């Protein structure tokens, strides 16, 4: 199957050829023709499946081949849960739409509104936004959603997890009734289905594969080990196997910092990325990691969620995630785009329940390897997991951090696309100029404010914040 067989126009084919894509991914092969037919879509797809292009390519094609309902007003709206994902999607829109005369704008909280207002005033075809800040603009009448032809809800499950449902409903009420709606979600909870039922009109369902499909391409192993010996085991595994590029997941920011320091001391170059790190620190760490200047990047789940590192060979779960689906997200960082990957989990006795949940989700056991010298001590009794809220439901993630600092920046698309940056793109609005810090856990799940950046400053009240104030990385709420 080729992209041209999907009916995409020459300008788009040129842009994706420049990206080096030779064939559509399964989600693209299924979704693109349906979107081009104008159908509403309910798509099960995770990061790493090529889902962004699956909605962006046909969206651009549709906009490029019909007249706008009104001049200058956004014709397509893509809502994302976090500012980083918004930036990433907007970058994709610019890259894929490079040869089309369409303008994009990016709107998210935590930074000044003025450049965004300027971009919106200049006229926008594709608006990529986080919900809270978009509503701020609507409230100030700097965004007008009355001419939206296509709506995309990206990572809808994460938006609901983060408590955006009310904002989403408010936004939906502002959109024309007659529109095409595409809902992308990694999982389909009852809440997502309820949202879809109210929004989608005779939708087509697209499910590329079971939601643990990413896991199928990845060699997965569990090393049972005592908690106190995990670090030494990791050092040994890295040394024995000469792993040069390893993404290591910890459950907490503090754990990420400590582990990175200890690895560094053991002669393994490592850095930590998480929501408390400034954007510049995260970008630097990621760039160094990609260039193999760093062997190990230690990350928390939220920090790593959107990381796009080509053919990352190894992922290590230093600690298992609290939510089984996050295991699948984590190991999806390796074995991407058809490449085989390698995922290792260091599992102590406290985590046996988490492991069982993961195996239940995968519908199969994971291979266990006990490394001589690291045999777990059978006398050690399980203890409750620090920060691990095993009793929590899916919608109640531990509030570790809210700045989803994947620091992907411009690394996603490897070619230079500098021209595109000026196309209605709010300059200086890339994420992480200010990094959100953890808010206290709320019973109903994490505050949305951190991700969306509302409520940090005058911005929430609609005043143009002073971006300079936000430049330093970390701010405490
Ligand atoms: P996504 O799931 O949208 O986050 O995309 C994951 C990665 O796959 C990104 O780096 C894309 O640039 C890349 N990608 C998307 N579509 C294709 C394709 N058809 N062939 C190769 N890489 C792709």
Tell whether the torsion through CA atoms of 6, 8, 12 and 13 is positive or negative. positive
188 part of a folded domain: yes
Candidate from 6-10, 65-69, 303-307, 313-317 with smallest mean pLDDT? 303-307
Task: Examine the pLDDT at 62 and tell me if it is beyond 90.
Answer: yes
Q: What pLDDT shows up at residue 338?
A: 54
**What separation in Å is there between the alpha carbon of 70 and the centre of ligand 1?**
32
pLDDT of residue 455: 35
Measured from the CB, is residue 305 less than 6 Å from ligand 1? no
CATH number of the domain bearing residue 446: 3.40.50.300
Q: Quick one: average pLDDT of 328-345?
A: 76
What is the tens place of the pLDDT at every residue in 164-209? Answer: 999 999 999 999 999 999 999 987 878 888 999 999 999 999 987 5
Quick one: pLDDT band at residue 332, thresholds 50, 70, 90? confident
Q: Are residues 241 and 382 in the same domain?
A: yes
pLDDT of residue 137: 98
* Span from the CA of 206 to the centroid of ligand 1 (angstroms): 17
Q: Give the number of other Cβ atoms within 10 Å of residue 64's Cβ.
A: 16
- In tens, the pLDDT along 113-160 reads 999 999 999 999 999 999 999 999 999 999 999 999 999 999 998 898
Q: 225 and 193 in one domain?
A: no
CA distance 316 to 268: 15
111 and 174 co-located in one domain: yes
pLDDT of residue 418: 33
Alpha carbons 391 and 324: distance in angstroms, whole number:
13
Residues 312 and 450 in one domain: no
Residue percentage of the chain with pLDDT more than 90: 53
pLDDT at 123: 95
Tokens representing 394 are 């899916």
pLDDT band at 339 (very low <50, low <70, confident <90, very high): low
Which residue, among 145, 199, 144, 149, has the nearest Cα to 179 in the 3D structure?
149
Query: Are residues 308 and 252 part of one domain?
Result: yes
Same domain, 7 and 142: yes
Mean pLDDT of 270-278: 83
The residue written with tokens 């918004």 in the block is 86
Ligand 1 atom closest to Cα of residue 46: 2
Q: What is the H or E stretch that residue 157 is in?
A: helix 156-161
What tokens were used for 159?
């938006």
- The reply to whether 398 falls in a domain is no
Residue 48, ligand 1, Cβ within 6 A: yes
Structural element, H or E, at residue 152: strand 150-153
C-beta 408 within 6 A of ligand 1: no
Nearest ligand 1 atom to the CA of 25 is 19
- How far from 131 is each of 7, 60, 82, 136, 193, CA to CA, in Å? 32, 22, 9, 9, 19
Query: Considering its fold, how many domains does the chain have in total?
Result: 2
90 domain residue, yes or no: yes
Residues 108 and 188 in one domain: yes
DSSP per-residue codes, 282-344: HHHHHHHHHTTS-SEEEE-HHHHTT---TTB-EEEESS--SSHHHHHHHHTTBSGGG--EEEE
Q: State in Å: Cα 78 to ligand 1 middle.
A: 18
Taking CA atoms, 372 is separated from 113, 221, 224, 225, 314, in Å, by 57, 15, 11, 10, 21
Please state the atom number of ligand 1 nearest to the C-alpha of residue 45.
Answer: 2
Report the residue among 48, 82, 337 best suited for mutation to probe ligand 1: largest number of ligand atoms under 8 A from its CB: 337
Q: What is the pLDDT of residue 215?
A: 57
Report angle CA 432, 436, 439 to the nearest 5 degrees.
170
pLDDT range class, residue 476, cuts 50, 70, 90: very low
**Overall average pLDDT of the 22-43 stretch:** 94
- CB distance 155 to ligand 1 below 6 Å: no
pLDDT at 450: 37
Cβ of 6 less than 6 Å from ligand 1: no
pLDDT tens, position by position, 428-449: 333 333 333 333 333 333 333 3
Looking at 390, 409, 427, the residue that finishes a domain is 390
145 and 266 share a domain? no
Q: State residue 64's pLDDT score.
A: 94
> Are 311 and 439 part of one and the same domain?
no
Tens of pLDDT, residues 229-249 = 999 999 999 999 999 899 999
Chain length of the chain: 477
Centre of ligand 1 from the C-alpha of residue 91, in Å: 13
CA gap 173, 164 in Å, rounded: 14
Which residue out of 5, 48, 50 has the highest number of ligand 1 atoms within 8 Å of its CB and is therefore the one to mutate? 50
Whether the predicted pLDDT of 404 surpasses 50: no
Identify the domain containing residue 66 by its residue range: 3-211+419-470
pLDDT at 467 over 60: no
Distance CA 273, CA 299 (A): 5
Per the model's pLDDT, the better-predicted residue between 451 and 270 turns out to be 270
| Terminal Cα-to-Cα distance of the chain (whole angstroms) | 51
Say whether both 196 and 316 belong to one domain: no
Which residues, including other chains, have CB under 8 Å from residue 320's CB and lie 6 or more apart? Answer: 327, 345, 347, 351, 354, 355, 358
Indicate whether 104 pLDDT > 90.
yes
- CA–centroid distance, 54 to ligand 1, in Å, is 9
More confident residue, 332 or 192: 192
- State the number of CA atoms in the 13 A half-sphere of 281 facing the CB: 20
Which pLDDT value is given to residue 305?
Answer: 62
Instruction: Confirm if 180 and 149 have CB atoms less than 8 A apart.
Output: yes
In this predicted structure, the answer to whether residue 407 has a pLDDT above a threshold of 90 is: no
Classify residue 8: in a domain, yes or no. yes
Specify whether 174 is located in the same domain as 259.
no
Residue 400 lies in a domain: no
- The reply to whether ligand 1 has any atom less than 6 angstroms from the CB of 61 is no
pLDDT of residue 277: 76
Does the pLDDT of residue 223 top 60, yes or no?
A: yes
Query: What order do you get walking across the sheet with 126-129 strand by strand?
Result: 104-107, 126-129, 76-79, 150-153, 180-185, 41-44, 204-207
Residue 295 has pLDDT above 80, yes or no: yes
Secondary structure, 3-state, 409-433 = HHHCCCCCCHHHHHCCCCCCCCCCC
In contact, 412 and 89? CB cutoff 8 Å: no
Name the least confident of 88-92, 257-261, 365-369, 461-465.
461-465
**Position 350 in a domain:** yes
Q: Specify if 413 maps to a domain.
A: no
Taking CA atoms only, the protein residue closest to ligand 1 atom 5 is: 50
Low-confidence winner among 55-64, 144-153, 373-382, 449-458 (lowest mean pLDDT): 449-458
What's residue 275's pLDDT?
72
Q: Using 50, 70 and 90 to split pLDDT, how confident is the model at 387?
A: low
Tell me which residue has its CA closest to atom 15 in ligand 1.
Answer: 50
- Whether residue 154 contacts residue 78, with contact meaning beta carbons closer than 8 Å, is answered with yes
In-domain check, residue 287: yes
Give the residue-averaged pLDDT of 262-288. Answer: 86
In this predicted model, which residue has the larger pLDDT, 460 or 201? 201
Same domain, 116 and 72: yes
Q: Is the CB of 53 under 6 A from ligand 1?
A: yes
Q: What percent of the chain has pLDDT over 70?
A: 75
49 lines ligand 1 (CB under 6 A): yes
To test the pocket of ligand 1, the residue of 28, 51, 52 to mutate (highest count of ligand atoms within 8 Å of its CB) is 52
| φ, ψ at 47 (rounded to 5°) | -55, 140
Six-digit token pair at 182? 């595409």
Tell which wins on pLDDT, 136 or 218: 136
Average pLDDT over residues 395-407: 32
């Amino acid at each position: 199957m080729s992209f041209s067989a999907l009916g995409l126009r020459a300008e788009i084919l040129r842009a994706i050829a420049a990206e080096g894509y030779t064939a559509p991914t399964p989600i693209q092969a299924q979704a693109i023709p349906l979107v081009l037919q104008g159908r509403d879509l309910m798509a099960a797809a995770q990061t790493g499946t090529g889902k962004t292009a699956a909605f962006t390519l046909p969206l651009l094609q549709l906009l490029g081949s019909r007249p706008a309902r009104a001049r200058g007003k956004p014709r397509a709206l893509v809502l994302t849960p976090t500012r980083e994902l918004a930036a990433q999607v907007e970058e994709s829109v610019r890259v894929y739409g490079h040869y089309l005369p369409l303008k994009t704008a990016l709107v998210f909280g935590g930074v000044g509104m003025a450049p965004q207002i300027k971009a919106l005033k200049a006229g926008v075809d594709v608006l990529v936004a986080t919900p809270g800040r978009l509503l701020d603009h609507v409230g100030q009448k700097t965004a007008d959603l009355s001419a939206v032809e296509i709506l995309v809800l990206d990572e809808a499950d994460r938006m609901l997890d983060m408590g955006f449902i009310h904002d989403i409903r408010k936004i939906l009420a502002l959109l024309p009734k007659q529109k095409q709606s595409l809902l992308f979600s990694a999982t389909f909870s009852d809440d997502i289905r309820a949202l879809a039922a109210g929004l989608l009109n005779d939708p087509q369902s697209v499910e590329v594969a079971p939601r643990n499909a990413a896991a199928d391409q990845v060699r997965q192993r569990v090393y049972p080990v005592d908690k106190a010996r995990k670090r030494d085991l990791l050092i040994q595994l890295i040394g024995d196997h000469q792993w040069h590029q390893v993404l290591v997941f910890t459950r907490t920011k503090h754990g990420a910092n400590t582990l990175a320091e200890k690895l560094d001391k053991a002669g393994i170059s490592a850095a930590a990325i998480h929501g408390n790190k400034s954007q510049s620190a995260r970008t630097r760490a990621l760039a160094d990691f990609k260039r193999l200047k760093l062997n190990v990047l230690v990350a928390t789940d939220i920090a790593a969620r959107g990381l796009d590192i080509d053919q990352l060979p190894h992922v290590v779960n230093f600690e298992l995630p609290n939510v089984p689906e996050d295991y699948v997200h984590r190991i999806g960082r390796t074995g991407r785009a058809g490449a085989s990957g390698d995922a290792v989990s260091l599992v102590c006795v406290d985590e046996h329940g988490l492991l069982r949940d993961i195996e239940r989700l995968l519908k199969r056991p994971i291979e266990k390897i006990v490394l001589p010298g690291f045999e777990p001590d059978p006398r050690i009794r399980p203890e409750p997991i620090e920060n691990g809220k095993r009793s929590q439901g899916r919608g109640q993630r531990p509030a570790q951090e809210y700045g989803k600092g994947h620091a992907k920046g411009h690394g996603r698309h490897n070619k230079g696309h500098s021209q595109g940056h000026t196309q209605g793109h709010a300059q200086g609005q890339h994420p992480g100029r200010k990094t959100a810090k953890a808010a206290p856990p709320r019973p109903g799940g994490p505050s949305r404010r951190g991700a969306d950046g509302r409520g940090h400053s005058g911005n929430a009240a609609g005043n143009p914040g002073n971006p300079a104030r936000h430049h330093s990385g970390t701010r405490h709420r």
